């Protein structure tokens, strides 16, 4: 994969930025199909990291006796 900027744009897209495939494709120097495949792999990896982090945080919270606090019972303003 070429271009750190293209990888950074994929990361931004994962978190909600509206960046088109053409801009990412230009930075990665590849075809649309490749961008779609790379994007899928990046998103799957970030989803897995997030899932593991949530699991670790839940175990930490439970270890401190705070298991009654869940994401459903806590609101963030």
What pLDDT, on a 0 to 100 scale, did the predictor assign at position 44? 96
Q: Name residue, tokens 């494709």.
A: 25
Encoding tokens for residue 9?
């744009």
Is residue 19 within 8 A of residue 47, CB to CB? The reply is: no
Query: 12 lies in which domain range?
Result: 4-63
Model confidence pTM above 0.75: no
Q: How many domains does the chain have?
A: 1
Asked if 62 and 55 count as a contact pair (C-beta separation under 8 A), the reply is no
| Confidence (pLDDT) at 77 | 46
How far apart CA 57 and CA 38 sit, in angstroms, is: 28
Q: Is residue 27 part of a domain?
A: yes
Residue 54 domain-assigned (yes or no) = yes
How many residues belong to the chain? 77
pLDDT tens string 21-64: 889 999 988 888 988 999 999 999 999 999 999 999 988 888 87
């Amino acid at each position: 994969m070429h271009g750190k900027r293209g990888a950074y744009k994929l990361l931004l897209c994962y978190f909600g930025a509206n960046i088109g495939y053409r801009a990412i494709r230009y930075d990665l120097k590849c075809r649309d199909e490749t961008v779609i495949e790379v994007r899928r792999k990046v998103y799957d990896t970030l989803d897995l990291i997030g899932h593991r982090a949530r699991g670790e945080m839940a175990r930490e919270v439970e270890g401190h006796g705070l298991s009654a606090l869940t994401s459903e019972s806590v609101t963030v303003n």
